[in-house]
Structure 1
Amino acid sequence: MRLAILTGGSRGLGLALHEQLTQAGWRVLEFSRTAPHRDSVRLDLADPTQIASLVRPALARVAAELTETIEALVAISNAGVLDPIGPASRKDPAAVLANLQANFTSAILFQSVVVAQFQNLACRKVLANLSSGAALKGYAGWSLYGAAKAGLEHHIRAVAVEQASEAHPFIALNVDPGVMDTAMQALIREQAPADFPDVARFIRRQADGELRPPGDVAAAILRLLERTDLVSGQRCVAADF
């Protein structure tokens, strides 16, 4: 049996990943605010304490039920939010904290509890952090989103070094899905230039057909995660697969 653990599987790329994993015969455990699937657990990543109260026990239950039959494990840290968009000097402190809790703190805690729960599981295990080009380049208006994505990439690189000394290591990866036709892209195109000066370029991307369907990106990511030549700690771009 193959087990997939996924955050943010209720819409966009996460939904496409959930659908394709399920169709491919994976047993999926999904975490999101709306929890729309039979295998979902309702989780608000804006509250990092829920990782301990909801994610940890859910993983423990699955491990107790399935550990003896798991042949492969994939954990995909996908959930993320872009708001608030705009100059750092104008951001509300409460909104800053909510963004960082959802995008950074909870993502690190999620990745950490997955590794802790399944560290001794003797099978192929992949921990994938879905990142962004914003981890590598600064965009005016996206200071929080970019900071969280950059920090998570470095977290994964450090986890990869740690895992190298484990008897049953995870392959830890950063995966850049590229630009997609999702609700997040629609939100970006609605921004005023004062909040996001690059908005015209993103509108042109959509008009020029440069946004890939989430299903195509999900398929590329799943092809990537099943490759046998992955190097733990590497950064991968979905469009290359």
Structure 2
Amino acid sequence: MAPIVLADEFVKQTKDWNRKKVLVNISSGAAKILIMAGQPIAVLRRGWKCLHGVAGLEQDKMSFPTSLISFSPGVMDTEMQGTIRSADERDFADRDKFHEYKEKGILRSPEFVADKLLQLLEAEDLENGKFYDIKNLL
């Protein structure tokens, strides 16, 4: 609930600012695909995707809109990946898929992903409310 309140307050406090304003929800593939044992995160990610989409449409009608976008960084080499790979298969049925990501070397570094996000934010043609996937920015 706190991210919703913070986003709403940011939009209210900056509604008269005539400059580029962007709120980015760092999402994941869980917003688009179902992952076994990933119900809580999938619900949150899908909810944020929907919220940013609707809020983005509303903001487009404002004099000085705030852009609200979702960004999926794809699979990254993070501590969470390590935790998933070390999980018991009974607790995380898709665990082997995460081992495969590591073995095939398809995990992206956080630095690479951050660079792609910065490039996206510097673009002049951000579509308000859009879900951006790093795969489409490569």
* TM-score category, normalised to shorter length: over 0.9
SS in 1 for 2:12: helix
Q: Deviations over 1:69-109 (max 9, x none)?
A: xxxxxxxxxxxxxxxxxxxxxxxxxxxxxxxxxxxx22212
Q: CA deviation at 1:175?
A: 0.8
SS in 1 for 2:69: strand
Q: 2:18 aligns with which of 118, 122, 137?
A: 122
Structure 2 unaligned blocks of 5 or more: none
**1:154 matches 2:50:** yes
Matching residue of 2:95: 199
- Amino acid of the structure 2 residue aligned with 1:163: Q
Matching residue of 2:28: 132
SS in 1 for 2:21: strand
CA RMSD, Structure 1 to Structure 2 (Å) = 1.1
Alignment of 1:1-241 (within 5 A): 105-241=1-137
Alpha carbons 1:177, 1:238 under 8 Å: kept: yes
Q: CA deviation at 1:110?
A: 2.1
Q: Choose between structure 1 and 2 for higher RCO, CA contacts under 8 A separated by at least 6 residues.
A: 2
Q: CA deviation at 1:213?
A: 0.5
Distance 2:117 2:27 in 1: 12
Distance 1:217 1:239 in 2: 10
- Amino acid of the structure 2 residue aligned with 1:185: Q
- Amino acid of the structure 1 residue aligned with 2:97: R
Q: CA deviation at 1:240?
A: 2.9
**TM-score of the two chains, using structure 2 as the length reference:** 0.94
Runs of 4+ more than 4 Å apart: none
Alpha carbons 1:178, 1:238 under 8 Å: kept: yes
Q: CA deviation at 1:235?
A: 1.2
Q: CA deviation at 1:239?
A: 3.4
Higher strand content, 1 or 2: 1
Q: Deviations over 1:1-56 (max 9, x none)?
A: xxxxxxxxxxxxxxxxxxxxxxxxxxxxxxxxxxxxxxxxxxxxxxxxxxxxxxxx
Q: Deviations over 1:152-204 (max 9, x none)?
A: 01010111111011110011111111000011111111211111111011011
